[in-house]
Chains A and B, each alone.
Chain A
Amino acid sequence: MRQQDTSTVFWPIDLLPCSGFCYGWDSDPICVAGIVQADTKDAAEKILSVAQNDPHWLALWDHRAKSAVVLGHCSVSDRREVIVRLGHVTLNPLNPGNGQPRTVVHYQRPKRDAMRFYSLDSRELDILYSQIVIPSTSPLYQKSVEVLEQDFTRPLLASPFDNETLNQINAAYSLANIVSRTALGNIENIGALHSSPSVQSGSRATTTDLECNGRHLRRMKLLLFAIYHLLSNLLITVEQIDVRAEQARFMYNHVPAIRSNENSSSIDSISRYIKFYNCVWLVLNDIIIGVAFGSFLCENSLLLSQLLDYYAQSYLVNSIRQGLMWLNNWPAGLKLNTELSEFYCHTFIGTISIWGHVLQNAAPYYPSILWIVGAMGCCGMTMIVSLLSDLLNILTLHIYLCYCLSTAAFSLELSLSASLWNLFRGKRYNVLRNRLDSWDYDMDQLLLGTILFVLVAFLYPTVLVYYALFAITYLAIILVQAVLDTVSALLNHFPLFALMLRVKDPMRLPGFIRARGTVQKQLV
Chain B
Amino acid sequence: MAQENWDHGWERLLWKQKSYPDNFVPKSFLSSLRQNPNFRPYTYLQLVISACAITQHLSTIIIFLDVFARLYDGALDARILIWASVLSFGVGFASASLLDLRTDHIASLTGSKAKTVKSSILVFLALMSLSPVLRTLTAATSSDSIWALSACLFVLNALLADYTALQPELHRHRRLTSVLSMNAAISSAVVLASRLPSDLAVFALLLMAIQLFALFPPLRRRLQTCPVLVQILITTALGGSSLALTLPLSTPATILITVSFIFVTFVAPGVLVWAQKYKNEIRGTWDPAVPKINNAATFS
Contacts and interface: CB of A to CB of B under 8 A. Distances in A.
A454 B119 CA distance: 21
A209 interface: no
Interface in B111-136: 119-120, 122-123, 126-127, 130, 133-134, 136
A454 B191 contact: yes
A199 interface: no
A454 B214 contact: no
Nearest to A451: B190
Across the A-B interface, the 10 shortest Cβ-Cβ residue pairs: A335-B140, A426-B179, A444-B119, A450-B186, A454-B190, A450-B183, A458-B137, A424-B183, A454-B187, A444-B123
Interface string A433-461: 00000001111101110110111001100
B134 A451 contact: yes
A338 interface: yes
A414 B92 CA distance: 38
A337 B123 contact: no
Contacts of B279: none
A330 B186 CA distance: 29
Contact of A447 (B139, B180, B186): B186
A451 B186 contact: yes
Contacts of B179: 425-426, 441, 446
Given A337-B136, A337-B139, A337-B140, A450 B187 contact: yes
Contacts of B187: 424, 450, 453-454
Interface of B: 119-120, 122-123, 126-127, 130, 133-134, 136-141, 175-176, 179-180, 182-183, 186-187, 190-191, 206, 210, 214-215
A451 B179 CA distance: 14
B133 A455 contact: yes
Centre residue among B136, B137, B214 by max chain A CB count within 10 A: B137
Contacts of B139: 337-338
Contacts of B175: 440
Interface of A: 330, 335-339, 424-426, 440-444, 446-448, 450-451, 453-455, 458-459
Given A455-B133, A458-B138, 5 more contacts: A424-B187, A443-B215, A448-B123, A455-B130, A458-B141
A446 B180 CA distance: 10
B180 A425 contact: yes
Contacts of B122: 444, 448
The binding surface of chain B is classed by DSSP as helix
A385 B207 CA distance: 64
A337 B119 contact: no
Nearest to B177: A426
B123 A455 contact: no
A444 B122 CA distance: 8
Contacts of A455: 130, 133-134, 137, 190
B91 to A, nearest CB: 18
12 contacts: A330-B140, A425-B180, A442-B119, A443-B214, A447-B123, A450-B183, A451-B126, A451-B130, A451-B134, A451-B190, A455-B190, A458-B137
A425 B191 CA distance: 18
A94 B140 CA distance: 92
Nearest to B133: A455
A440 B140 contact: no
A426 B180 contact: yes
Nearest to A459: B137
B136 A447 contact: no
Contact of A339 (B130, B136, B215): B136
B31 to A, nearest CB: 43
A455 B134 CA distance: 7
Nearest to A424: B183
A454 B137 contact: yes
A136 B126 CA distance: 72
Contacts of B133: 455
B137 A337 contact: yes
